[in-house]
Structure 1
Amino acid sequence: MSSMDPIRNLIASLPVIDLVNAGFGGISSVGRVTNNPVWELVGRPDIWTMKQTKLKELQLKAIKYAFKHHYDNCDFYRNYCKDSGDVRPEDIHSIEDIINKIPQIPAEAFKKGVISSVPKNRINTVVTTSGTSGSVSYLVRDFGSLIRLGMIIVNYIANPGATQVLKEQKRFEGNLSKIVKYALTNFYVAPLLPEPNEASTWFTSAFKSLIPFMKMFGIPYDFHLKGFEFNPEKILEEIKEQSKKNKMVFLVGFHYVYNELMKYMDEVGETLELDPDGSNLCFTITAGGWKKLSGEAIDKKAFEKKLVDHFGVYEPYIVDAYGFGESNTIAIDFCPEGNMHLSPGVMAVTRDPKTLEVQDYGDAGLISVWDPTMLSFPSFVISDDIVKLSKPFECDGCGVITQTIEFVGRAEKAELRSCGLKTEQILNDENKKALEIVRAKTLRSGIGF
Structure 2
Amino acid sequence: MDEQPPVPFTESMDVYSMRQADKEMWLLKGMRKLTAWHQERCTEYARFLYGSRVSLDDVEQIEQLPYLPTSIFKRFELKSVADVDIPKLKSVQSSSTSSGVPSRIFVDESTSIRQKKSVQLIFDSYLGTRRRPYIIFDAMETARGKNSMSARGAAIMSLMGYASKFYFVMDIQDGQLVLNEERLSEAVQAAKAAGDFIAYGFTYILYQAHEKLQGMSLSFEGFGNQTFLIHSGGWKKLQSLAVDKEIFNQTISSVWTVSPNQVIDFYGLVEQTGVIYPDCPYGNKHVPYYADVIIREPHTLQTLQPGETGLLQLMNLLPLAGPNHSVITDDLGKIIHIDDCPCGRKGKAFRFNGRAPKAEIRGCGDVYAEESL
The interval holding the TM-score normalised by the smaller chain is 0.7 to 0.9
User: 2:116 is matched with which residue?
Assistant: 150
Deviation, 1:109, is: 0.8
Letter in 1 for 2:63: I
Q: Tell me, yes or no, if the aligned pair for 1:322 and 1:331 is still in contact at 8 Å.
A: yes
User: 1:67 is matched with which residue?
Assistant: 35
User: 2:318 is matched with which residue?
Assistant: 373
- Structure having the larger proportion of residues in helix: 1
Q: Tell me, in whole angstroms, the C-alpha distance in 1 between the residues paired with 2:66 and 2:168.
A: 39
Q: How does 1:91-240 map to 2 (within 5 A)?
A: 91=57, 94=60, 96=61, 98-100=62-64, 102-120=65-83, 121-131=87-97, 133=99, 135-159=101-125, 162=128, 183-184=130-131, 187-193=132-138, 194=140, 195-198=142-145, 200-211=149-160, 213-214=161-162, 219-225=164-170, 230-240=178-188
Structure number with greater Rg is 1
User: 2:195 is matched with which residue?
Assistant: 247
User: 1:256 is matched with which residue?
Assistant: 204
Q: Tell me, yes or no, if the aligned pair for 1:291 and 1:299 is still in contact at 8 Å.
A: no
Q: Tell me, in whole angstroms, the C-alpha distance in 1 between the residues paired with 2:109 and 2:28.
A: 23
Q: Tell me, in whole angstroms, the C-alpha distance in 2 between the residues paired with 1:414 and 1:349.
A: 19
Aligned-partner SS, 2:289: coil
Q: Tell me, yes or no, if the aligned pair for 2:170 and 2:180 is still in contact at 8 Å.
A: no
Q: Tell me, yes or no, if the aligned pair for 2:295 and 2:304 is still in contact at 8 Å.
A: yes
Deviation, 1:268, is: 4.4
Q: Tell me, yes or no, if the aligned pair for 2:19 and 2:347 is still in contact at 8 Å.
A: no
Q: Tell me, yes or no, if the aligned pair for 2:331 and 2:352 is still in contact at 8 Å.
A: yes
Aligned-partner SS, 1:37: coil
Q: Tell me, yes or no, if the aligned pair for 1:201 and 1:447 is still in contact at 8 Å.
A: no
Q: Tell me, in whole angstroms, the C-alpha distance in 1 between the residues paired with 2:283 and 2:341.
A: 10
Q: Among residues 241, 248, 265, which one is paired with 1:303 in the alignment?
A: 248
Q: Among residues 207, 210, 235, which one is paired with 1:290 in the alignment?
A: 235
Q: Tell me, yes or no, if the aligned pair for 2:34 and 2:317 is still in contact at 8 Å.
A: yes
Are residues 191 and 344 of structure 1, via their aligned partners in 2, closer, same or farther at CA, if it must alter by over 3 Å? farther
Deviation, 1:346, is: 1.3
Letter in 2 for 1:43: E
Q: Tell me, in whole angstroms, the C-alpha distance in 2 between the residues paired with 1:143 and 1:226.
A: 31
Deviation, 1:115, is: 1.5
Which runs of 5 or more residues in structure 2 are unaligned?
Answer: none
TM-score normalised by the chain length of structure 2: 0.83
Aligned-partner SS, 1:348: strand
Are residues 256 and 210 of structure 1, via their aligned partners in 2, closer, same or farther at CA, if it must alter by over 3 Å? closer
Deviation, 1:78, is: 0.8
**Total equivalences in the alignment:** 352
Deviation, 1:307, is: 0.8
Aligned-partner SS, 2:29: helix
Q: Tell me, in whole angstroms, the C-alpha distance in 1 between the residues paired with 2:126 and 2:259.
A: 19
Q: Tell me, yes or no, if the aligned pair for 1:48 and 1:344 is still in contact at 8 Å.
A: yes
Q: Tell me, yes or no, if the aligned pair for 2:92 and 2:106 is still in contact at 8 Å.
A: yes
CA-to-partner distance for each residue in 1:171-212, whole Å, 9 max, x for gaps? xxxxxxxxx6xx34xx1112223443258333432443454x
Q: Tell me, in whole angstroms, the C-alpha distance in 2 between the residues paired with 1:244 and 1:46.
A: 31
Deviation, 1:407, is: 1.4
Aligned-partner SS, 1:405: strand
Aligned Cα root-mean-square deviation (Å):
3.0
Q: Tell me, in whole angstroms, the C-alpha distance in 2 between the residues paired with 1:60 and 1:396.
A: 27
Q: Tell me, yes or no, if the aligned pair for 1:253 and 1:286 is still in contact at 8 Å.
A: yes
Letter in 1 for 2:6: P
Which runs of 5 or more residues in structure 1 are unaligned?
Answer: 1-33, 163-179, 416-443
Q: Tell me, in whole angstroms, the C-alpha distance in 2 between the residues paired with 1:70 and 1:322.
A: 26
Q: Among residues 17, 20, 38, which one is paired with 2:7 in the alignment?
A: 38
Question: Is 1:55 aligned to 2:23, yes or no?
Answer: yes
- Structure having the larger proportion of residues in strand: 2
Aligned-partner SS, 1:221: strand
Are residues 378 and 224 of structure 1, via their aligned partners in 2, closer, same or farther at CA, if it must alter by over 3 Å? farther
Q: Among residues 327, 331, 340, which one is paired with 1:385 in the alignment?
A: 331
Deviation, 1:306, is: 0.9
Q: Tell me, yes or no, if the aligned pair for 1:132 and 1:384 is still in contact at 8 Å.
A: no
Q: Tell me, in whole angstroms, the C-alpha distance in 2 between the residues paired with 1:299 and 1:108.
A: 28
Q: Tell me, in whole angstroms, the C-alpha distance in 2 between the residues paired with 1:133 and 1:161.
A: 37
Question: Is 1:331 aligned to 2:277, yes or no?
Answer: yes
Letter in 2 for 1:196: A
CA-to-partner distance for each residue in 1:75-133, whole Å, 9 max, x for gaps? 11111111101x344x2553x2x422x32111111111211222223423422234565
Percent of counterpart pairs with the same letter?
Answer: 24
Are residues 160 and 288 of structure 1, via their aligned partners in 2, closer, same or farther at CA, if it must alter by over 3 Å? closer
Q: Tell me, in whole angstroms, the C-alpha distance in 2 between the residues paired with 1:130 and 1:70.
A: 26
Aligned-partner SS, 1:62: helix
TM-score normalised by the chain length of structure 1: 0.70
Are residues 222 and 334 of structure 1, via their aligned partners in 2, closer, same or farther at CA, if it must alter by over 3 Å? same
Deviation, 1:370, is: 2.3
